[in-house]
Amino acid sequence: MISDPLFILVAVAVLVVLFILLTGIGGFAKGGDFNRKHANRIMRYRIYAQFVAILVVLLYVYLRRGG
């Protein structure tokens, strides 16, 4: 499974979503100027990244089931 390039792509997509989410939560917890300037943009990026990650996961499942 680790040698499967599509699985690696799924893992990277999920980690990108996690990184964006943690950045947004960290900015929210810190508050202040950073949060006011970037909070909405970071959460918008998270939604886009989640969409891509879901598509990649669905592609992985479809191709591994013999699609």
User: pLDDT tens-digit profile of 3-59?
Assistant: 889 999 999 999 999 999 999 999 999 888 888 898 999 999 999 999 999 999 999
Place of tokens 């669905």: 58
Distances (CA, A) of 43 to 10, 20, 22, 54: 20, 8, 10, 16
DSSP secondary structure of 6-41: HHHHHHHHHHHHHHHHHHHHHHHHH-HHHHHHHHHH
Give the number of domains in the chain. 1
Domain span at residue 47?
Answer: 5-66
Q: How confident is the model at residue 2 (pLDDT cuts 50, 70, 90)?
A: confident
Task: Note the pLDDT of residue 67.
Answer: 64
4: phi > 0 → left, psi -120 to 50 → alpha, else beta; which? beta
